[in-house]
Amino acid sequence: MKLIVGLGNPGKEYENTRHNIGFIMIDEYANSEKVIFTKSKFKGELTKIIIGNEQVLLLKPTTYMNLSGEAVLAVKQFYDIKTENILIIYDDLDLPAGKIRLKQKGSAGGHKGIKSIISCLNSENFHRLKVGIDRDERIPVVDYVLGRFTKEQWKNIIDATSISLNAIDEWIKNDINYVMNKYN
C-alpha cells in the first residue's frame, strides 16, 4: 500500500494559493482517477484507488499546513504503511513556478508542513514531489506563499500538472530512483 499526500490549507480563502499547490495537484490526480475525497477520522480528507495491483491512499490533511504530520502519521499507523511508501506533494519557493523536482528523502528545508511530517514520523525517509512556486524577495514569505499565482505562474502550473500526474503514476509503479532520473 502507498500513501500520496497533497499539502495545503483547508478553506475557501486558501484555494488556489501558492501554498496549496499540493492540494491542487492531488485534486487533479483524484479527478483523473475519477475518485472523490471524503472526510475521514484521520484529520483529513481521504480516498482510495487501485493502480495495477497497488492500493493507493490519497490524503489531504485538514490540520492546516503546520500540523500536516498529524494526519500523515494517523493514516500511516492505521494502514501500517512503510515510510518509504509515502509521497508528499508540496510547494517549493526555490524552484521556478511549475518546475517539479522529486526527492527520495531530505530535510524540511524551511517548509513547516514537511517539518511537521518529519517530526511526527520521526524520519526524513519519505518521498517528495516538490512543485515550484517561484519567490519574490520584495514580499514577505508568509504573504507570498498565501498569495495567488500570477497569470504567467498559473500558466506554468497548468503546464506542470500533466507532468506531475505522470510522475505520480510512475512513482506508484516504479522505484523512486527511476522516477527521479526520468523527471528531474
pLDDT digit string, tens, across residues 125-137: 999 999 999 999 9
* Pairing of the two strands 127-132 and 86-92: parallel
pLDDT digit string, tens, across residues 114-157: 999 999 999 999 999 999 999 999 999 999 999 999 999 999 99
Picking from 108, 104, 154, the residue whose alpha carbon sits closest to that of residue 129 is 104
Domain extent at residue 47: 2-183
Picking from 80, 54, 56, 66, the residue whose alpha carbon sits closest to that of residue 118 is 66
Cβ pair 86, 2 in contact under 8 A = yes
Q: Using only the alpha carbons of the chain, give its radius of gyration.
A: 15
Q: Could you say which of 19, 60, 111, 127 is catalytic?
A: 19
Query: Mind giving me the DSSP string for 74-111?
Result: HHHHHHT--GGGEEEEEEETTS-TT-EEEESS---TT-
Is 41 a residue whose pLDDT tops 90?
no
Say if residue 106 is exposed, middle or buried (CB neighbours under 10 Å; 0-12, 13-18, 19+): middle
What is the band of 58 on the pLDDT scale with cuts at 50, 70, 90?
Answer: very high
Cβ pair 130, 103 in contact under 8 A = yes
Mean confidence (pLDDT) of the chain = 96
Overall number of domains in the chain: 1
What is the band of 52 on the pLDDT scale with cuts at 50, 70, 90?
Answer: confident
CATH number, position 46 = 3.40.50.1470
Distance CA 91, CA 134 (A): 9
Question: Whose grid coordinates read 500540523?
Answer: 67
Q: Give the pLDDT mean for 25-34.
A: 97
Cβ pair 134, 96 in contact under 8 A = yes
Would residue 19 show up in a list of annotated catalytic residues for this protein? yes
First-to-last C-alpha distance (Å) of the chain: 25
